[in-house]
Amino acid sequence: MASCVRAELLTAGGHTPTIREGGSLAVTPDGEKFILFGGDPSESSFTPVVTAVTENPSTPGEWMWKALPATAESPSPSTRPPMVSFASAVVTGSTAGQQQQGLYLIVFGGVGRDRVSVGETYAFDLNQRHWRRLFFPHGGPPPRHNSGLCISPLNDSEVLLFGGISDPERLRRSDLWSLDLSKVDWSYDRIPSQCDSIGGAVWRKVKVGSSSTALRPSPRDKFAMASHQPSGSIYLFGGKTGVDWDTSLSNQLWRLDCSTYEWELLEAKGASPPPCRGADGSSWLWSIGDSELLLLPKDAASLYTLDLNNHYWCRVLMSGDVCRALSQLEGLWAISPYSTAKRRGLILFDNSVASISTEDDEDPVKVAPPREKRQAMVVQDDAMIRDAEEQMMKSKKEVLALAEDMAALGADRGRLIAELESMRRQAELDRRSIREARSRIQTLDEDVRNAENLLKDSEGREAELRGRVARRGKLDDLLRKLCGMIADERWNEAKTVATEAQKLLKPSCGANVPMGTRAPATTGGRRAGSSGRATR
């Protein structure tokens, strides 16, 4: 197990880069150079620059930043990477026989200025400073950014890609891809057009496990991924999962067996790290030994080591010039992969550079006597004590802030209870008003029914009166005719009209005189006399 994790500020001169949100920091296989690619150096542009920081071999401890602009012989802009951030990058070497011929920065994906993910693959020759685009006749992975990219622990010519997220769809992915570089022709042709692209590389989608239901990580991005050569595995931790309206941070630990491409979910005990996500465009899970991983979470209060033999988490304190948690560093924006050759990595925060190195108690290369080692640890212990005091003060401030929040919550609770009681009283008044309104509605319904009955009665009377008026009018017409006939002494016609008039008078008399009574005799006598005289 690593006994010490030490962070030291570095004196870095030269062409110091500006802070790049979403920049990718890679390391060469020998650990001599750290390569920074892409990112957002300003509010208005994404600049695909390549910058290297190296240690001065003649003056150990002094580092130098150096821009690596593309040479004049570089191809047209269409064969250079687009201006992207949050791309995935790794440094690999080309070999001829047993000798290494060159170093190449492999860049995949990223998100452009228009917030749309890209899916092209490019290679930058770190020696010739020449951009070339890799050509894939059978296609490659879908566009994405914030994905994991690392060299296979079993084959230096294989690069593995996992996960990421695609914009503008905001679609997280869980697919695994393999980039085979074993048959790539890195040589340059005399024909300029043949130097724009490289053939022979093959992207292949890896079938995970032996069945479609094989265990695998859920779709995610911003996770930590590291290649562990002694076990031939790739380890994956954390990340952001779910969809935009229901996202969550994970603290799952997965292992990919690169010989069978089967995933395994590891259940580790001990001081397990909290759910967290990685620093944008950087690696923060390091393989620091044959059986140990170092986790450098950006937003947690501690560093963690994982014993791969026993699957046990342990917290680790960081000593040195930067003896505090990464979450306390202002402006942390990039963490490099771990260099096993130099047993170190770099972190970039604000405008500073720090080297994180590890030491092992059982390292046979270490020749310092035990006494000197204990003296060095005393200095580290003092730094750790100061760091612990800072953490204690920070915890006290957090407790006071929580107490203030609790008091505010208590006041809000009393106010909400009073509002609830007022709402209850208002609801009772509303229920009473509803009951009164129902009673009034019932009374109005009865009044409406009575009015409808009266209306029906009045309609019957109106029809009866109209019938009487019609008979009265017809009777008046008959009387006028009768008078005219009598005056002209047309007695037969007068008799007929008189009979018709009597028929009209019978319903009228029956309607007005109660049944069982007789009409006055005088009226009948007069009418009879009149009729007799008319007959005579």
DSSP 120-153: -EEEEETTTTEEEEEP-TT--PPS-BS-EEEE-S
- Cα(461)–Cα(444) distance, integer angstroms: 26
Each residue's pLDDT tens digit, 63-103: 899 888 877 555 566 677 888 889 999 999 865 544 456 89
Helix (H, G, I), strand (E, B) or coil at 493: helix
Q: What is the C-alpha end-to-end distance of the chain, expressed in Å? A: 154
Residue 121 pLDDT more than 90? yes
Percentages helix, strand, coil for the chain (3-state, rounded to 5) are 30, 30, 40
Each residue's pLDDT tens digit, 434-452: 999 999 999 999 999 999 9
Cβ atoms of 150 and 160 closer than 8 Å: yes
Cβ atoms of 10 and 353 closer than 8 Å: yes
For residue 136, which of 193, 179, 83, 81 has the smallest C-alpha distance? 179
Q: Range with the lowest mean pLDDT among 49-63, 380-394, 465-479, 522-536? A: 522-536
pLDDT of residue 418: 92
- Cα(159)–Cα(161) distance, integer angstroms: 7
Q: What are phi and psi of 196, to 5 degrees?
A: -80, -25
pLDDT of residue 262: 93
- Cα(265)–Cα(255) distance, integer angstroms: 7
Residue 525 pLDDT more than 60? no
Q: What is the CA radius of gyration of the chain?
A: 50
Strand 240-243 and strand 233-237: the pairing is unpaired
Residue 294 pLDDT more than 50? yes
- Cα(213)–Cα(458) distance, integer angstroms: 85
pLDDT of residue 334: 81
Distances (CA, A) of 317 to 223, 229, 291: 22, 26, 19
Residue 44 pLDDT more than 60? no
Degrees to nearest 5, angle at CA 178 with 333 and 196: 80
pLDDT of residue 61: 74
* Tokens encoding 386: 């100061």
Residue 324 pLDDT more than 90? no
Rounded to two decimals, the pTM is: 0.66
- Cα(87)–Cα(110) distance, integer angstroms: 4
Number of H helices, E strands in the chain: 3, 35
- Cα(289)–Cα(312) distance, integer angstroms: 15
pLDDT of residue 510: 47
- Cα(42)–Cα(21) distance, integer angstroms: 9
Name, in order, each residue with C-beta under 8 angstroms of 193's C-beta and a sequence gap of 6 or more: none
Helix (H) or strand (E) holding 30: none
The overall average pLDDT reported for the chain is 81
Helix (H) or strand (E) holding 133: strand 130-134
Q: Range with the lowest mean pLDDT among 44-53, 233-242, 295-304, 503-512? A: 503-512
Greatest alpha-carbon span in the chain: 171
Each residue's pLDDT tens digit, 351-388: 888 888 887 654 443 333 333 333 333 334 565 676 67
Q: What is the Cα 237 distance to its own chain's centre?
A: 20
Q: Percentage of the chain surpassing pLDDT 70?
A: 80
Give the DSSP letter string of 301-324.
SSEEEEETTTTEEEEE-EEETT-S
pLDDT of residue 441: 95
Q: Range with the lowest mean pLDDT among 41-55, 92-106, 146-160, 404-418? A: 41-55
Cβ atoms of 24 and 39 closer than 8 Å: yes
Helix (H, G, I), strand (E, B) or coil at 37: strand
Given pLDDT bands bounded at 50, 70 and 90, which one contains residue 104? very high
pLDDT of residue 89: 93
Q: Range with the lowest mean pLDDT among 116-125, 273-282, 286-295, 480-489? A: 273-282
More confident residue, 201 or 278: 201
* Tokens encoding 370: 């035990």
pLDDT of residue 516: 41
Given pLDDT bands bounded at 50, 70 and 90, which one contains residue 425? very high
Given pLDDT bands bounded at 50, 70 and 90, which one contains residue 117? very high
